Amino acid sequence: MFSLRHDAAFWRRLAHLGAQHGPEWWVRHSPAFFGLAAAAVLPRARTSVLSNLRSIRGEASPLRDAVDVGRTFTSYAGCLAEVLSNGSKNQRLPKGTLHGRANFAAAVAKERGVVLVTIHSGGWDSASPLLAHGFNRELMFVMRPERDPDARALQDAARAKNGIVLTHVGDDALASLPLLRHLRRGQVVGLQVDRVPRGVRERKVALLGRRTTIPEGPVRLAEIAQCPLVPVFCARLGYRTYHIEAHPMIEVPRRATEEQLDVAAQKVADAITSFLRAHPTQWFHFGLDGGGDGASGAGGEESLLDRHRFAS
Protein backbone atom coordinates (compact mmCIF):
# COMPACT_ATOMS: atom_id res chain seq x y z
CA MET A 1 0.00 0.00 0.00
CA PHE A 2 1.30 3.45 -0.90
CA SER A 3 2.37 5.45 2.13
CA LEU A 4 3.67 8.96 2.73
CA ARG A 5 4.92 8.29 6.27
CA HIS A 6 8.30 9.79 7.09
CA ASP A 7 9.95 6.35 6.81
CA ALA A 8 8.11 5.22 3.66
CA ALA A 9 9.96 3.96 0.60
CA PHE A 10 8.56 6.87 -1.45
CA TRP A 11 10.73 9.42 0.36
CA ARG A 12 13.80 7.17 0.33
CA ARG A 13 13.42 6.64 -3.42
CA LEU A 14 13.10 10.38 -3.95
CA ALA A 15 16.29 11.03 -1.96
CA HIS A 16 18.00 8.17 -3.79
CA LEU A 17 17.04 9.61 -7.17
CA GLY A 18 18.54 12.99 -6.35
CA ALA A 19 21.72 11.53 -4.84
CA GLN A 20 22.26 9.16 -7.76
CA HIS A 21 21.33 11.30 -10.75
CA GLY A 22 21.54 14.93 -9.63
CA PRO A 23 24.70 17.00 -10.03
CA GLU A 24 27.33 16.73 -7.32
CA TRP A 25 26.48 20.21 -6.04
CA TRP A 26 22.99 18.87 -5.26
CA VAL A 27 24.42 16.10 -3.06
CA ARG A 28 26.71 18.63 -1.39
CA HIS A 29 24.30 21.51 -0.76
CA SER A 30 20.66 20.33 -0.86
CA PRO A 31 20.77 18.36 2.45
CA ALA A 32 20.93 21.62 4.40
CA PHE A 33 17.55 22.66 2.99
CA PHE A 34 15.92 19.26 3.48
CA GLY A 35 17.35 18.85 6.96
CA LEU A 36 15.94 22.19 8.11
CA ALA A 37 12.62 21.42 6.42
CA ALA A 38 12.41 18.13 8.33
CA ALA A 39 13.13 19.93 11.60
CA ALA A 40 10.29 22.35 10.81
CA VAL A 41 7.63 19.77 9.90
CA LEU A 42 8.49 17.04 12.46
CA PRO A 43 7.87 18.65 15.87
CA ARG A 44 8.20 15.39 17.80
CA ALA A 45 11.58 14.71 16.22
CA ARG A 46 12.67 18.28 16.91
CA THR A 47 11.65 17.95 20.56
CA SER A 48 13.52 14.66 20.89
CA VAL A 49 16.71 16.13 19.42
CA LEU A 50 16.52 19.15 21.72
CA SER A 51 16.03 16.88 24.73
CA ASN A 52 19.10 14.87 23.73
CA LEU A 53 21.16 18.03 23.27
CA ARG A 54 20.24 19.33 26.71
CA SER A 55 21.17 15.97 28.23
CA ILE A 56 24.57 16.13 26.52
CA ARG A 57 25.61 19.77 26.94
CA GLY A 58 23.14 21.18 29.45
CA GLU A 59 20.74 24.08 29.10
CA ALA A 60 21.56 26.81 26.57
CA SER A 61 20.09 29.94 25.06
CA PRO A 62 17.17 29.62 22.62
CA LEU A 63 19.52 30.68 19.81
CA ARG A 64 22.08 27.99 20.69
CA ASP A 65 19.29 25.41 20.92
CA ALA A 66 17.94 26.36 17.49
CA VAL A 67 21.38 26.29 15.89
CA ASP A 68 22.30 22.91 17.39
CA VAL A 69 18.95 21.35 16.45
CA GLY A 70 19.43 22.61 12.90
CA ARG A 71 22.96 21.24 12.78
CA THR A 72 21.77 17.83 13.90
CA PHE A 73 19.09 17.60 11.21
CA THR A 74 21.28 18.95 8.42
CA SER A 75 24.17 16.68 9.35
CA TYR A 76 21.86 13.68 9.24
CA ALA A 77 20.49 14.75 5.84
CA GLY A 78 24.04 15.09 4.54
CA CYS A 79 24.92 11.60 5.75
CA LEU A 80 21.81 10.17 4.08
CA ALA A 81 22.56 11.87 0.75
CA GLU A 82 26.17 10.69 0.78
CA VAL A 83 25.36 7.05 1.45
CA LEU A 84 22.52 7.03 -1.10
CA SER A 85 24.94 8.30 -3.75
CA ASN A 86 26.95 5.07 -3.51
CA GLY A 87 27.27 3.27 -6.82
CA SER A 88 26.62 6.41 -8.87
CA LYS A 89 28.65 9.10 -10.60
CA ASN A 90 28.44 11.06 -7.35
CA GLN A 91 30.12 8.48 -5.12
CA ARG A 92 33.41 9.70 -3.64
CA LEU A 93 35.87 8.22 -1.19
CA PRO A 94 35.40 9.65 2.29
CA LYS A 95 38.05 11.82 3.88
CA GLY A 96 39.07 11.79 7.50
CA THR A 97 41.17 10.17 10.17
CA LEU A 98 40.78 7.19 12.46
CA HIS A 99 41.76 8.49 15.89
CA GLY A 100 42.80 5.73 18.28
CA ARG A 101 43.94 3.54 15.41
CA ALA A 102 46.27 1.70 17.78
CA ASN A 103 43.25 0.70 19.90
CA PHE A 104 41.52 -0.93 16.95
CA ALA A 105 44.77 -2.47 15.68
CA ALA A 106 45.41 -4.07 19.08
CA ALA A 107 41.97 -5.70 19.03
CA VAL A 108 42.37 -6.96 15.46
CA ALA A 109 45.82 -8.35 16.28
CA LYS A 110 44.30 -10.83 18.70
CA GLU A 111 42.90 -12.67 15.65
CA ARG A 112 39.71 -13.60 17.51
CA GLY A 113 37.35 -11.24 15.76
CA VAL A 114 36.14 -7.88 17.09
CA VAL A 115 32.74 -6.82 18.42
CA LEU A 116 32.44 -3.16 17.43
CA VAL A 117 29.87 -1.14 19.37
CA THR A 118 28.68 2.25 18.21
CA ILE A 119 25.66 4.57 18.17
CA HIS A 120 23.43 6.19 15.56
CA SER A 121 25.76 9.03 14.70
CA GLY A 122 27.20 10.86 11.70
CA GLY A 123 28.19 8.77 8.75
CA TRP A 124 28.99 5.34 10.19
CA ASP A 125 27.86 3.74 6.91
CA SER A 126 29.75 6.24 4.74
CA ALA A 127 33.00 6.31 6.70
CA SER A 128 33.46 2.54 7.03
CA PRO A 129 36.27 2.47 4.39
CA LEU A 130 38.30 4.74 6.69
CA LEU A 131 37.88 2.24 9.50
CA ALA A 132 38.68 -0.81 7.39
CA HIS A 133 41.70 0.70 5.63
CA GLY A 134 44.81 -1.36 6.32
CA PHE A 135 43.11 -4.02 8.44
CA ASN A 136 41.81 -6.39 5.75
CA ARG A 137 38.70 -7.19 7.78
CA GLU A 138 35.08 -7.51 6.69
CA LEU A 139 32.55 -5.50 8.67
CA MET A 140 29.18 -7.16 9.26
CA PHE A 141 26.71 -4.69 10.67
CA VAL A 142 23.71 -5.90 12.67
CA MET A 143 20.44 -4.02 12.32
CA ARG A 144 16.81 -4.50 13.18
CA PRO A 145 14.45 -4.46 10.18
CA GLU A 146 12.74 -1.28 9.10
CA ARG A 147 8.95 -1.30 8.89
CA ASP A 148 9.01 -0.61 5.14
CA PRO A 149 10.93 -3.46 3.42
CA ASP A 150 11.31 -1.49 0.18
CA ALA A 151 12.96 1.41 2.01
CA ARG A 152 15.21 -1.02 3.82
CA ALA A 153 16.25 -2.79 0.61
CA LEU A 154 17.13 0.50 -1.08
CA GLN A 155 19.31 1.73 1.75
CA ASP A 156 20.88 -1.68 2.36
CA ALA A 157 21.93 -1.82 -1.29
CA ALA A 158 23.58 1.60 -0.99
CA ARG A 159 25.46 0.53 2.14
CA ALA A 160 26.60 -2.70 0.50
CA LYS A 161 28.25 -0.67 -2.26
CA ASN A 162 30.41 0.85 0.44
CA GLY A 163 31.69 -2.56 1.52
CA ILE A 164 29.37 -3.19 4.48
CA VAL A 165 27.79 -6.62 4.97
CA LEU A 166 24.38 -6.25 6.63
CA THR A 167 22.38 -8.74 8.59
CA HIS A 168 18.93 -8.05 10.03
CA VAL A 169 17.88 -9.62 13.31
CA GLY A 170 14.57 -9.78 15.10
CA ASP A 171 13.65 -11.89 18.10
CA ASP A 172 14.98 -15.22 16.72
CA ALA A 173 17.16 -16.95 19.29
CA LEU A 174 19.33 -18.37 16.47
CA ALA A 175 20.02 -14.93 14.96
CA SER A 176 23.40 -14.75 16.70
CA LEU A 177 24.81 -17.83 14.93
CA PRO A 178 25.92 -15.97 11.75
CA LEU A 179 27.54 -13.34 13.98
CA LEU A 180 29.51 -15.96 15.88
CA ARG A 181 30.66 -17.59 12.63
CA HIS A 182 31.78 -14.19 11.33
CA LEU A 183 33.73 -13.48 14.51
CA ARG A 184 35.35 -16.91 14.53
CA ARG A 185 36.71 -16.15 11.07
CA GLY A 186 38.50 -13.19 12.64
CA GLN A 187 36.14 -10.59 11.18
CA VAL A 188 34.30 -7.60 12.71
CA VAL A 189 30.66 -7.47 13.86
CA GLY A 190 29.19 -4.01 14.45
CA LEU A 191 26.19 -3.26 16.66
CA GLN A 192 24.53 -0.01 17.74
CA VAL A 193 23.79 0.24 21.44
CA ASP A 194 21.96 3.54 21.86
CA ARG A 195 18.51 1.99 21.52
CA VAL A 196 17.06 -0.84 23.54
CA PRO A 197 14.54 -2.90 21.54
CA ARG A 198 11.50 -3.89 23.54
CA GLY A 199 11.89 -7.29 25.14
CA VAL A 200 15.69 -7.30 24.82
CA ARG A 201 17.86 -7.99 27.87
CA GLU A 202 19.60 -4.89 29.13
CA ARG A 203 22.18 -3.77 31.65
CA LYS A 204 22.06 -0.71 33.87
CA VAL A 205 24.67 1.98 33.23
CA ALA A 206 25.37 5.62 33.98
CA LEU A 207 25.37 7.68 30.79
CA LEU A 208 25.70 11.46 30.57
CA GLY A 209 25.44 11.54 34.34
CA ARG A 210 22.14 9.68 34.47
CA ARG A 211 21.04 6.11 35.06
CA THR A 212 19.69 4.22 32.07
CA THR A 213 20.27 0.90 30.28
CA ILE A 214 21.99 -0.43 27.17
CA PRO A 215 21.39 -3.74 25.36
CA GLU A 216 23.22 -6.66 26.95
CA GLY A 217 23.65 -8.52 23.64
CA PRO A 218 26.98 -7.02 22.45
CA VAL A 219 28.64 -7.67 25.81
CA ARG A 220 27.35 -11.24 25.86
CA LEU A 221 28.48 -11.75 22.25
CA ALA A 222 32.02 -10.68 23.19
CA GLU A 223 31.89 -13.04 26.17
CA ILE A 224 30.69 -16.05 24.17
CA ALA A 225 33.04 -15.47 21.21
CA GLN A 226 35.91 -14.51 23.53
CA CYS A 227 36.82 -11.57 21.37
CA PRO A 228 37.55 -7.95 22.30
CA LEU A 229 34.79 -5.36 22.31
CA VAL A 230 35.76 -1.94 20.91
CA PRO A 231 33.62 1.24 21.09
CA VAL A 232 33.96 3.11 17.77
CA PHE A 233 32.12 6.32 16.91
CA CYS A 234 31.85 8.56 13.87
CA ALA A 235 31.07 12.25 13.40
CA ARG A 236 30.44 14.06 10.13
CA LEU A 237 32.62 17.17 9.99
CA GLY A 238 31.58 18.36 6.53
CA TYR A 239 30.93 17.15 3.00
CA ARG A 240 32.24 13.56 2.91
CA THR A 241 34.61 14.37 5.76
CA TYR A 242 34.50 12.28 8.91
CA HIS A 243 36.05 11.92 12.32
CA ILE A 244 36.27 8.34 13.57
CA GLU A 245 37.49 7.42 17.02
CA ALA A 246 38.28 3.97 18.39
CA HIS A 247 38.38 3.62 22.16
CA PRO A 248 40.47 1.08 24.11
CA MET A 249 39.24 -2.48 23.75
CA ILE A 250 37.18 -4.07 26.49
CA GLU A 251 37.86 -7.68 27.43
CA VAL A 252 34.93 -9.71 28.78
CA PRO A 253 36.05 -12.82 30.71
CA ARG A 254 34.71 -16.26 29.82
CA ARG A 255 31.77 -17.10 32.08
CA ALA A 256 31.74 -13.51 33.28
CA THR A 257 30.04 -12.70 36.55
CA GLU A 258 27.21 -10.19 36.73
CA GLU A 259 29.65 -7.66 38.16
CA GLN A 260 32.10 -8.20 35.28
CA LEU A 261 29.31 -7.77 32.74
CA ASP A 262 28.28 -4.55 34.48
CA VAL A 263 31.85 -3.25 34.32
CA ALA A 264 32.07 -3.95 30.59
CA ALA A 265 28.70 -2.29 29.93
CA GLN A 266 29.72 0.77 31.93
CA LYS A 267 32.94 1.12 29.93
CA VAL A 268 30.81 1.21 26.77
CA ALA A 269 28.56 3.88 28.30
CA ASP A 270 31.59 5.94 29.37
CA ALA A 271 32.91 5.88 25.80
CA ILE A 272 29.51 7.00 24.46
CA THR A 273 29.43 9.86 26.96
CA SER A 274 32.92 10.98 25.97
CA PHE A 275 32.03 11.01 22.27
CA LEU A 276 28.71 12.81 22.69
CA ARG A 277 30.21 15.49 24.92
CA ALA A 278 32.67 16.26 22.11
CA HIS A 279 30.10 15.98 19.27
CA PRO A 280 26.64 16.86 20.65
CA THR A 281 25.01 17.49 17.25
CA GLN A 282 26.01 14.10 15.87
CA TRP A 283 23.54 11.89 17.73
CA PHE A 284 20.76 10.92 15.33
CA HIS A 285 17.89 9.85 17.50
CA PHE A 286 14.69 11.51 16.39
CA GLY A 287 12.14 9.75 18.59
CA LEU A 288 9.78 8.73 15.78
CA ASP A 289 7.64 5.60 15.68
CA GLY A 290 8.45 3.01 13.12
CA GLY A 291 10.63 0.06 12.24
CA GLY A 292 14.24 -0.25 13.25
CA ASP A 293 16.07 1.94 10.80
CA GLY A 294 19.66 1.85 11.82
CA ALA A 295 20.53 5.17 10.26
CA SER A 296 17.60 7.44 10.46
CA GLY A 297 16.73 7.09 14.09
CA ALA A 298 13.13 6.53 13.07
CA GLY A 299 12.91 3.30 14.96
CA GLY A 300 10.62 1.26 17.13
CA GLU A 301 13.55 0.91 19.49
CA GLU A 302 13.87 3.42 22.30
CA SER A 303 16.67 5.90 22.78
CA LEU A 304 18.67 5.54 25.96
CA LEU A 305 17.43 8.96 27.03
CA ASP A 306 13.80 8.26 26.12
CA ARG A 307 13.38 5.51 28.66
CA HIS A 308 12.66 7.78 31.67
CA ARG A 309 14.39 5.37 34.03
CA PHE A 310 16.93 7.82 35.39
CA ALA A 311 17.87 8.14 39.01
CA SER A 312 18.42 11.85 39.48
Please state the domain extents for the chain: 9-298
Pick the most confident of 169-183, 249-263, 290-304: 249-263
Residues 193 and 215 sit within 8 Å (Cβ to Cβ): yes
pLDDT-derived band at 1, boundaries 50, 70, 90: very low
User: How high is the mean pLDDT of the chain?
Assistant: 85
pTM: 0.88
pLDDT tens track for 73-109: 999 999 999 999 988 999 888 899 899 999 999 999 9
List pLDDT tens digits, range 115-172.
999 999 988 788 888 887 788 888 888 877 666 677 767 777 777 777 777 887 765 5
Taking the C-alpha atoms of residue 174 and residue 184, their distance in angstroms, rounded to an integer, is 16
> Nearest 5°: CA angle at 176, between 175 and 180?
145
Mean pLDDT, range 215-242, rounded to an integer: 95
Residues near 57 by beta carbon (within 8 Å), at least 6 away in sequence? 68, 277, 280
pLDDT of residue 105: 96
At a CB cut-off of 8 Å and minimum separation 6, what does 139 contact? 116, 128, 131, 132, 163, 164, 165, 187, 188, 189, 190
